[in-house]
Amino acid sequence: MRFIKPSLLVPLMALVIPGAALAQSPTYKVGRPPTEAELHAWDNVVGREGKELPPGSGTAKEGAKVFAGKCSYCHGATAIEGPAPRLVGGVDSLSTKSPKLTLGSFWPYATTVWDYINRSMPQDNEGSLNPDQVYAVTAFLLFKNGIIKEADVLDAKSLLKVQMPNRDGFFPAKPEATAKNGNWKPNWNQAKQASR
């Protein structure tokens, strides 16, 4: 195997480095910076605290109608059949050999359910539901999972109060130092402790 002589390395670097620097310069003259409206359209993620939730409301009864018209094609009429993953059931199945990952058994926050429906559903027309429809479908699915009552109205305030069955089944949001050396350790028995 031949190596480059050190005397040739400096001239070679003098040729390569300016090319790399030019490749990094923002003078491609292709595209444009996004407008405020375009950035706002992409900046629609709702966190677990729900600060970004828009005004609107919905009930499970209203959500059943929206679900039947926009969601049942993939998830089935009762949200347990169809080609897409089931959305109902599976509570207490996570520690079994055949866990059923549904929004009732796995998802830790109702705001995450709302956000996912808002941005990603229906699959053939993502983001097409208005906030009232998203609140209604969320209410319908939470009702079908036994988390809220059928007459409960979901809105930006009430959605934050929903306690999902697996809320304590994940690592804490702000880990505390638990080991003698100050390092954080996951609490694998967290769900069991929360139920005591």
CATH classification at residue 92: 1.10.760.10
- Spatial separation of the C-alpha atoms in residues 113 and 139, rounded to whole Å: 10
- Residue 143 burial class via C-beta count within 10 angstroms: exposed 0-12, middle 13-18, buried 19 and up: buried
Kindly report, residue by residue over 23-34, the tens digit of the pLDDT: 665 666 788 888
Q: What are phi and psi of 154, to 5 degrees?
A: -95, 135
Query: Distance between terminal CA atoms of the chain?
Result: 68
Is residue 183 over pLDDT 70?
no
Residue 122 lies in a domain: yes
Residue 42 lies in a domain: no
Kindly report, residue by residue over 123-148, the tens digit of the pLDDT: 989 989 999 999 999 999 999 999 99
Residue 180 lies in a domain: no
Say which residue, 188 or 71, is predicted with more confidence.
71
Taking residues 32-39, what's their average pLDDT?
86
Q: Could you tell me where the beta strands, DSSP code E, fall in the chain?
A: 57-59, 153-155
Q: Answer left, alpha or beta for residue 109, where phi above 0 means left and psi between -120 and 50 means alpha.
A: beta
Say which residue, 38 or 12, is predicted with more confidence.
38
Domain span at residue 163?
Answer: 57-167
Q: How many domains does the chain have?
A: 1
Structure tokens at 178: 């638990």
Say which residue, 1 or 46, is predicted with more confidence.
46
Number of residues in the chain: 196
Structure tokens at 41: 């359209």
Structure tokens at 185: 């350790």
Is residue 160 over pLDDT 50?
yes
